[in-house]
Every structure is written in structure tokens, then in C-alpha cells.
Chain A
Amino acid sequence: MADAKPQGFSLKQYLKKTKLWKSIFRHDFADSPRTRLQRIFGNVFLHLHPVRVAKDALRVTYTWGLGGISFYLFLLLTVTGILLMFYYRPASMLAYQDIKDITFAVTLGRLLRNMHRWAAHLMVIAVILHMVRVFLTGAYKPPREYNWVVGVILLVMTLFLSYTGYLLPWDQLALWAVTVGAQMAANSPMLGNEGPFKLPFITTSNDARFALVGGTVIGDATLIRFYVLHCMAVPFLFTLFLAVHLWRVRKDSFSKQTGEKVDVWPHLVSRELLATILVTVILFVWSILLQAPLESEANLNVTPNPSKAPWYFLGLQELLVYFDPWIAGVVLPTVIVVGLMAIPYIDTNPKGIGYWAKMEWRRYGPLPVWYPAERPFAVSIFMLGVVMWFVLIFIGTYCRGPNWEWYWPWESWSHRRITKLTLKNIPNLWGIALMGGYFLLGSPFPKQVKERLAAIGGPKAPALASTALHMGLGMLLSVALFVPLLTAPDLDYPLRSRYTTLFEALGHATNAPVVMAMYQLVQQAGRVVGYSLIALLVLAIGAGLGWLGLRFAKFKDRLCEELGLVKYTIIISLYLMMMGVLGKILLRLLFGIKYLFSLPVFNFNI
């Protein structure tokens, strides 16, 4: 700063006193605590910040700046989006041509479009990672429960923004990705024309898909609908929720409060600036090196094989292999979103706020396990869910080719490859037993029951009853799985599905490895020995499952006592549902089971 010695007339000093100067530059620029404060107070864009913030909260490794980066990406997408809107007309006759114009004729148009596209992908990733960070640092815990819910809403809106934008280029990629998504709406329970228990007045022209697509087929009506949603409606709502989200961050205070307080200007503002520049540089390079895809013009008569949803929905599309669309496309996403929202209300563990979940290496039998020390249950289920989500996305993106068959990422696709999987439905009663037994495994032994049992049968009675219950359920599961496998007619479900299993790709010749192994056993060892061995195996698996349940019995009882029955039921149901998804995948891959329960009349299959 130039020192201002009073020496006669200084134009600068004169100007600084004018009202015009003061209207534009509202404060002095000398670096004093007063101006640092004024910079935050007096600036509409910066005043969402507090004036001072805990030093430790500024550590990059605490937040990785993910929330701020998500917000910046939203701004960047708004700016690039507005610029793109100048060149784009949402009509099926014009849209594709306009994208070609943007690519080939508009000055910097290609860069603009690339940036918009990659920034959208990056924003989805950033928002998800932000959520993971908030979870792992316990920042959703009181008093920030509500803001977590707002954050989940913002996540859903981010995905929906990206999805609605996907259609706009009006190429084959767009059309068929949106078709996959819209088809899920058609499978909503009750409200979808192809869903289970559809209401009597629901037809193709008034179901959930119709509402999304604006017609019975994707066309101009869909394009204008998605355009308005993408450019106006959702960004408007997004901004509202974003305002709430940021405001709540201020009101609920930051989750990290250790360390001395430092001024936000310059400490936080400079870091934010650096983060935005870094993200811009990354996006710039990304957009220069990689072109946004644009395939042939959309054509409803030509279905590419495979048709894939946008990548962030590919996990759900991959689940379509194992579940009917109403589960994979409607119920599971709903459960995921509601379950995420419920987290702060059911997780009452007060520990773990303001620092990353503590991990340590522990020995589990012979295996070293990276174990979360403080919130083992919460951290492991949440991370299992996140990892499952991304593994499914990876499989859907890189491991699925024509006819949704399994291809390793380095394999080239072939439309000539044909594989066959013969599947079986489990008879409904067995299926109910199987699912019922599975969910009952989550039931605790409440204290009162234990006391009554001890009163009646002596001190050992509760333990015995618990053992009996778990072993019984384990046996039930095992028996309900294997008996129908052995007794139901082998081609109960004659559909020749073309899905490849992982095991086929690994070189196992058969589609249902367990069934074939049992068959071979009986063939080789003779009926008596073979079936006895199978019976032994069934008992052993039952005992194993029972033992597993028993090992967690104490944990379940403690959890139930701490949380109360309602919260416990919610948490254990969510947990069992998530593991159930994994279980159903294994049932199909290993046992060749399609449905556990099937009511074809109502289009209701599990």
C-alpha cells in the first residue's frame, strides 16, 4: 500500500472522498481487522461466511472443500448453461443440429459444451463425495440433522438435473438413456402402467412415465419438458434448497470447532478462491482433451444394444438383472433416499463429530481388518452401501455389453456371443419362509423376555432360547433354500434368459454352480451318499447361518436397548435390505434363482 503523505492536492485522496467512490468501494483496503470484517459483512456474496472460523476447520484434509466445490460447479454449470442456451432450441427437428452447430461453428462452442458436460459429471461426484465426507466426520449429528436432509434433497436434485440435461443433445445416447430412466417410472408400484398392483384407472397415457415424458413416447413434448425442468424449474428449486443448506451451515455452526479462531478473510476466502481456480483448471484441461459424446440423431426406431442409462443410474440398471424394475428402479432408490434422510434421526451415537472416523488395523482370526474404532456399525454399513453403489456402477459401465452380457473392460464386445442361463422360481411358500427367516434373523431378544425366561426356566434359559432361535432360523433359511432347489422341477422357469454370470466369465461352465455341483455329486457318488452329503451340507450351512446370527445376538440386544425398538427396527430393516440386495445377487449367480416370491396376476415379483 502506498503511504499517503499529506502533501498538497492528491487526486486519489480527493476521489476517495467522493460519494461515487464510496458507493463502489465500500471500505478501506488496508489489511486491518476492521477491513477484514467489513469485507465479509459488506459483500452480499461473502456474507454467508462467518467472520471468524476455527483454524482446524480450514484444514484441506478435513473437508477437502467438497461442499464448496459442489457449489462452485453449480455456478459454473449455470454460467456455461446460460451461454449454451443462446444456441440451443429444444425441438426435435432442431436440437441435434444446434448441438452440431455448437460443436463446429460457434466460437469456443465445443469447449463450452464439453465443460458443461464434464462439470455436470464432476458435480455428481463432488456431491456424493461431500455426503461421504459429512458422514465420516459425523457432521450430520445434532444439531445438523435437518441440514443433512436438505443435503440429501440437493443430491437427488443434482441427479435429476443431470438426468434431464442428458436428453437435450437429442442423440441416440440421450434418447435411450432417458428411455431406460423413463421406463423405471412406468414400473412404479400402483402408479406405473407396468408396475405391480397398478390402480384400475392407470393406463399408458396417465401413468408416472407419462407425467415424466409428457406423452406415451419420448418426443418433442419430452424435450421441451426436460428443457424447462433442466434450465428453469429444477435450478430454481435447487437454488432455494441451496440457500437453506448454506444458511443452515451458518446457523448450526461448523462441525469442527477446535483450534484458535482466525479471520475468514483472507484465510477461508483465499482457500475457496484457490479451490475454484484449481477446479476450473482441471475442467479446462479435461474439456480440451476429451470431447463430450454425440452419437447419431435420436431415432425411436433404432434401439442400440446395449442401451445404458446415465452412469450414475447404471447401478440401478445393473440391479435390473436381479430384481424386477419396480424394485430396482423405484423401491430401492426410494429406500436409499429415505434411508439416507433417516440417518441422523436413527443414529443417536453422540461420538465422532468433527473428525474423520477413526480407523485401525485389527486382527479378525487370521485376517487383518481395517476397522472403524469408534462408530463401527454406522461407518461400516454406510461405506458398504457406498462401495456397493459404485461397484454396481462400475459393472454397469465397464462390464456390460450387448444383451447386457458380462464383458471384462479389456474385452471387445461381440453381438455374436450367446449365453444361456436357466433359472428357477422358488415356490411362494418356501420363498416367504426364506425371506421371513432372513428378516427375523434381525430380531433382538428384549430384556423383559430374557427376564421372564430366566424366571421360568432358570438362569440358563435365555441363552438356550437365543441359541435355539438363531439355530432354528439358520436351519429354516438353509432348508427353505435347498429343498425347493432340489425338489422343484428343474426348468420351472423356462425363460431362456441371456444374462451372463460372473461365474461363467470366470470359466465355470454352468450357470447355477451350486445346482450343478449338487447334480455332479449325486452322479459321481451315487444317490445315497450324494444326498446324504447334500443333507449334511444343508445342515452345516444352516448351523453356520445360525452361528453367525448368534455371534451378533449380544450386539443386537445392546443396539435395541440403546435405540429403542422403533429406531432399532428401522435401522435393522435398512441394513437387512441392503444385505438382502447382495444376497439376492448371490442367489441368482450361485443358485440360479430368479424369484423368491411371485404373483404374476399382480405383476408382483420379488
Chain B
Amino acid sequence: MSDSVTLTLKETIDGRVVADAIVPDRLATLSATEIAHLPVWLARHTSPPALADATGCDADRAARAQDQHSVELGDLFSVRGERSAVVRVQGNLANVDAIGAAMTAGTLSIDGNAGRELGRGMTGGTIAVHGNVGDDAGLAMAGGAVLVWGSAANRVGGALPGASRGMTGGEIFVRRNVGRDAGASVRRGLIVVGGDAGDGTARSMIAGTVLVMGKVTGTVGLWNKRGTVVALGGATVPATYRYACTYRPPHLRVIFAYLRHAHGVPVDDRYISGRYARYCGDLSEVGKGELLLWTDA
């Protein structure tokens, strides 16, 4: 048993890799040799395939099947350490997907970028990415924490294809910007965006909290049922929201205090003690959601 397991990418990968074997609680039970023999899926195409043509048929499927094959983790990464739930991954993993999928415990640190579906379906533990992440970070996660020091692409905390609910628990912190549909269909949990958020933020949100410390561009909170969207840098209030009052929401102070003390997130005092305009919505839904816009008035 060692203090940690370190995986170092040997060379740049041509194609995409589905590395859902890189899960700390799984590696915690394995020797270095066993870790190196874990299977990962390698696909040689660099962009997502079209799932179907206009007729509904997946014309590419046979060709793609030949292009996807299983390799061993040790073929792509050098492995140092064993039997530890503290895992460090080094290298540019922008095209390595599903790292930390279904993770239940432990710590996973990525020194560089990460690909799609980071922490997919995770229920516990912490993933820290010292770079940017691709689409679908925290996809359908139910617990634990994802910390991204750079930016995240689209659908942070979103739902699996066809699922009615996205994230159902846990926390996602993105220090910089997020793309489209952050927090879409979220049922429970906290998403904090240190920068700006794109179009479709909190779309079809069921409950939970999305806190954007920058500006929200495009639509926000459409079809929101009971969720909270906080925008410190402003947002365009949808027509289906109604202004309620301007006040100091007490729960925001708890969230900000938690962000400061537990995660070292810099939060300006004016946001903590400031007042927020509360808009109730989406009134095309149950209308128990809210949009809280910081105001310096």
C-alpha cells in the first residue's frame, strides 16, 4: 500500500479514450500491476460521431465499431503506487472521458485538462481538476464534489440522455466559465460558477442551487420548478418570472461562508452583505423557483 497512486500519460493520445476505470475507490483495492491491466476504451476518431443519419439509421456504426477497441490502462499511462484511494493523474487529458465515473469515495486530482463526463454518476469523494474540463462534467452525479480550476464546457451537472433528472446531489465548483445548459434538470445539489455562464443555465431545473458569480448570458431558469439561480453579475429575467422584493437572503450568507471557509473561494463582502432582487418563477411551471440578482442599490 502506498500513499497515493499516480498515473502519468505516456504520450498524446490520437483519438478519444473512455477511462471510467480511473476511479479512486476501485484503485484502492488493486496492486500496481492490476491497475495497469484495467481496461479502457480507445476510439480513433477525434470528434463525436453522428449517432444517426436523416433516416434514423446509424450508418457509421460498423466502421466505428472497428475503430473502437479496448486497451489496458498501462498502455496509455505509467502507474506509480498502489492500493490507495488518493489518485493523481498527470498529463493533458482533454480527450480522456469519464474519469471518476461512479466514484463513491477517495480523492482524484488531475494535473491538466480533462475530457467529457468527468465524475459521471459519482456519489462521493472529491475530484479536483487543475485545468479545463469538457462537456457533461458531473453528469447525473448524486454526491461528492467536483472542483474545476479552469473552465467547463456544456451541460455541467446535467442529465443522462433521456433522463428526467440531472444532478441529484453533491457540489460542483468551476472557478472560471461554463458553457451552455449548466445545471439543466438539476434535482438537488450546488453548482458554483466563478465566471460567466452560457445560454440555457438552469433550464428545466427541478431544485438545487446554481450560483453564477459572473454574468449569465442568454436564457436562464426557463421551466425552473423550485430551483435557485443566483447571478452576481446580472442576467436577463425571463418573461415568465415576476419580481417579488429586494432583500438579503439568509441562506446565501451560509452558502458564501461555506464557499469561503471550506473551499477558499474568494467572495467579496459586498455580495455577502448585499441585497438581492428576488424574482419568482418559472410561472409557466409551479413557480416556486427563484432568480436572485445581486443589486448594489
The yes or no verdict on A and B being binding partners is no
Q: Which residue numbers of A lie inside 8 Å of B, CB to CB?
A: none
Q: Which residue numbers of B lie inside 8 Å of A, CB to CB?
A: none
